[in-house]
Amino acid sequence: MHQLASLVFTQDDFTRDAFALTQRGNTHVHFVGSTKLDELVADYKIANEAVAGVGKTLLWAPHHSYSPHWLNFGNFARVHEEMLQWAAGHAEFEVVLRAHPFMFGTLVDRGVMTQAALDDWLARWSALANARVEVGESAAASFAAADYLVTDGISFLAEWPLAKGVPAIFMENPGHWPFTEIGSLAAAANIVVHEVGELDGVLSGMPERSAQIEALRVAAMPHAGKTAARIVEAVAADTSDLIDPATVTEVPWELQPGREPLD
């Protein structure tokens, strides 16, 4: 799809450079920034103005990837019992579980947890006075209502520090796929832990990450708020012909053997 497209728009220069390594090259690829980040930052500013601080809120945002064949960032199955015990022992925090929309389904579909075990855990989590599951809120609203974020990845590693200007806590799964260049910048903008037992130490005094967040902002949002306009300008200026599919013969990465099943 990417190689057959007349135009491709990327969030960062690293991705545009990667396209240069493909059969077609990157003359059709434009570095414009991210409309998603532009929208998130703008929405967060609005949402944050409407939120009054009422205590300490920790947002827990686990990812859905549980396979060494694809990303492998998710560590919910490894830490969920410890996180429940942590929440139970920290009544001074409101702990909000915002799972990736795919997570609960993939936990069961991929045999990581049984439905009965997941239902039992969710019932015990929801029974805590200071814990709940969040569904349907925008990321901007979730961020505005939270004081801290704990996540195992992926997009929130960039979105939280760019929106709020402070680091999240990255509970890293040691088996995840290597970061891209922009991913490495995002990871560096956060505080890395590997176990639930490390949370208390980090929360007692969050380390400074201003320089790392600024480096991420320069790479990911050099034209903040102007991404959509840059896309329109590139489309208006484009005079390329449609691409003949027969000229692109490389097998796309996702269709190569051993990749994450499409179903």
160 with 231, same domain? Answer: no
71 with 184, same domain? Answer: yes
190 with 233, same domain? Answer: no
139 with 241, same domain? Answer: no
- Whether 1 maps to a domain, the answer reads no
172 with 122, same domain? Answer: yes
25 with 85, same domain? Answer: no
12 with 127, same domain? Answer: no
Q: How many domains are contained in the chain?
A: 2
Containing structural domain, residue 125: 52-220
99 with 149, same domain? Answer: yes
pLDDT by residue, tens only, the chain of 263 residues: 887 888 999 999 999 999 999 988 999 999 999 999 999 999 999 999 887 655 699 999 999 998 888 899 999 999 999 999 999 999 999 999 999 999 999 999 989 999 999 999 999 999 999 999 998 899 999 999 999 999 999 999 999 999 999 999 999 999 999 999 999 999 999 999 999 999 999 999 999 999 999 999 999 998 999 999 999 999 999 887 778 888 888 887 777 887 765 54
121 with 234, same domain? Answer: no
CB atoms within 10 A of CB 174: 7
| Listed residue (86, 73, 171) closest to 128, CA to CA | 86
202 with 233, same domain? Answer: no
CB atoms within 10 A of CB 145: 19
95 with 208, same domain? Answer: yes
> Please, where are the H alpha helices in the chain?
13-19, 35-49, 76-88, 103-109, 115-127, 139-145, 156-164, 181-188, 199-203, 210-220, 227-237
